[in-house]
Amino acid sequence: MERAPLLIVDGDNLAHRAYHSTPKTVKGADGRPINAIVGFFGMLANLWAAEQPRAVFVAWDTLSVPTYRHELWPAYQSGREFDDAILDQLEVLPGLCEAAGCGVGKAAG
Protein backbone atom coordinates (compact mmCIF):
# COMPACT_ATOMS: atom_id res chain seq x y z
CA MET A 1 0.00 0.00 0.00
CA GLU A 2 1.35 3.43 -0.98
CA ARG A 3 1.92 5.93 1.76
CA ALA A 4 0.03 9.22 1.42
CA PRO A 5 2.24 12.18 0.52
CA LEU A 6 3.41 14.90 2.87
CA LEU A 7 2.18 18.26 1.57
CA ILE A 8 4.75 21.04 2.06
CA VAL A 9 3.47 24.54 1.32
CA ASP A 10 5.34 27.83 0.82
CA GLY A 11 3.08 29.83 3.12
CA ASP A 12 4.24 33.27 2.01
CA ASN A 13 3.74 32.43 -1.65
CA LEU A 14 0.27 30.99 -1.09
CA ALA A 15 -0.71 33.93 1.16
CA HIS A 16 0.38 36.48 -1.45
CA ARG A 17 -1.50 34.61 -4.18
CA ALA A 18 -4.57 34.51 -1.94
CA TYR A 19 -4.29 38.19 -1.04
CA HIS A 20 -4.14 39.32 -4.65
CA SER A 21 -6.82 36.93 -5.95
CA THR A 22 -9.44 37.32 -3.21
CA PRO A 23 -11.48 40.54 -3.18
CA LYS A 24 -10.22 43.15 -0.73
CA THR A 25 -13.84 43.64 0.31
CA VAL A 26 -13.64 40.39 2.32
CA LYS A 27 -13.44 41.66 5.89
CA GLY A 28 -13.87 40.27 9.38
CA ALA A 29 -16.54 41.27 11.88
CA ASP A 30 -14.20 44.02 13.12
CA GLY A 31 -13.93 45.48 9.60
CA ARG A 32 -10.30 44.48 9.05
CA PRO A 33 -9.35 42.73 5.79
CA ILE A 34 -9.18 38.93 5.93
CA ASN A 35 -9.03 38.25 2.20
CA ALA A 36 -5.58 36.63 2.38
CA ILE A 37 -6.70 34.40 5.26
CA VAL A 38 -9.93 33.29 3.57
CA GLY A 39 -8.23 32.78 0.21
CA PHE A 40 -5.28 30.96 1.80
CA PHE A 41 -7.46 28.38 3.55
CA GLY A 42 -9.64 27.95 0.46
CA MET A 43 -6.55 27.19 -1.62
CA LEU A 44 -5.13 24.95 1.09
CA ALA A 45 -8.44 23.03 1.24
CA ASN A 46 -8.27 22.53 -2.54
CA LEU A 47 -4.69 21.21 -2.24
CA TRP A 48 -5.77 18.91 0.59
CA ALA A 49 -8.65 17.50 -1.47
CA ALA A 50 -6.47 17.00 -4.55
CA GLU A 51 -3.47 15.45 -2.82
CA GLN A 52 -5.06 13.74 0.22
CA PRO A 53 -1.82 14.09 2.21
CA ARG A 54 -1.02 12.34 5.46
CA ALA A 55 0.05 15.72 6.87
CA VAL A 56 0.58 19.35 5.88
CA PHE A 57 3.63 21.47 6.72
CA VAL A 58 3.55 25.21 6.01
CA ALA A 59 6.87 27.06 5.78
CA TRP A 60 7.07 30.82 6.38
CA ASP A 61 9.76 33.44 5.76
CA THR A 62 10.70 36.18 8.19
CA LEU A 63 10.77 39.56 6.50
CA SER A 64 12.86 41.21 9.20
CA VAL A 65 15.95 38.98 8.99
CA PRO A 66 18.43 39.53 6.13
CA THR A 67 19.52 36.44 4.22
CA TYR A 68 22.66 35.48 2.34
CA ARG A 69 21.04 37.01 -0.74
CA HIS A 70 21.14 40.43 0.95
CA GLU A 71 24.84 39.94 1.69
CA LEU A 72 25.52 39.08 -1.96
CA TRP A 73 23.39 41.91 -3.29
CA PRO A 74 22.37 44.59 -0.75
CA ALA A 75 19.57 45.84 -3.04
CA TYR A 76 17.87 42.41 -3.04
CA GLN A 77 14.11 42.99 -2.72
CA SER A 78 14.75 46.63 -1.77
CA GLY A 79 11.93 47.88 -3.98
CA ARG A 80 9.27 45.62 -2.48
CA GLU A 81 6.58 47.31 -0.50
CA PHE A 82 3.69 45.51 1.15
CA ASP A 83 0.25 46.79 2.08
CA ASP A 84 -0.38 46.90 5.82
CA ALA A 85 -3.42 44.68 5.18
CA ILE A 86 -1.31 41.75 4.01
CA LEU A 87 1.34 42.28 6.68
CA ASP A 88 -1.34 42.08 9.38
CA GLN A 89 -2.66 38.84 7.90
CA LEU A 90 0.83 37.36 7.48
CA GLU A 91 1.30 37.88 11.22
CA VAL A 92 -1.66 35.68 12.15
CA LEU A 93 -1.60 33.05 9.39
CA PRO A 94 1.14 30.83 10.91
CA GLY A 95 -0.81 30.56 14.18
CA LEU A 96 -4.02 29.80 12.32
CA CYS A 97 -2.25 27.07 10.34
CA GLU A 98 -0.98 25.55 13.56
CA ALA A 99 -4.46 25.73 15.10
CA ALA A 100 -5.78 23.92 12.00
CA GLY A 101 -3.39 21.03 12.66
CA CYS A 102 -0.65 21.89 10.18
CA GLY A 103 3.01 21.69 11.02
CA VAL A 104 4.51 25.18 10.89
CA GLY A 105 8.07 26.43 10.50
CA LYS A 106 9.37 29.99 10.23
CA ALA A 107 12.88 30.98 9.22
CA ALA A 108 14.75 33.63 7.30
CA GLY A 109 14.00 33.22 3.62
Please state which CATH number belongs to domain 6-108.
3.40.50.1010
Collect the ranges in the chain with pLDDT lower than 50.
none
pLDDT at residue 107, rounded to an integer:
85
Contact 109, 61 (CB under 8 A): yes
Interhelix angle 35-51/11-21, nearest 10 degrees: 120
pLDDT at residue 53, rounded to an integer:
98
Question: Rounded to an integer, what distance in angstroms lies between the CA atom of residue 94 and that of residue 102?
Answer: 9
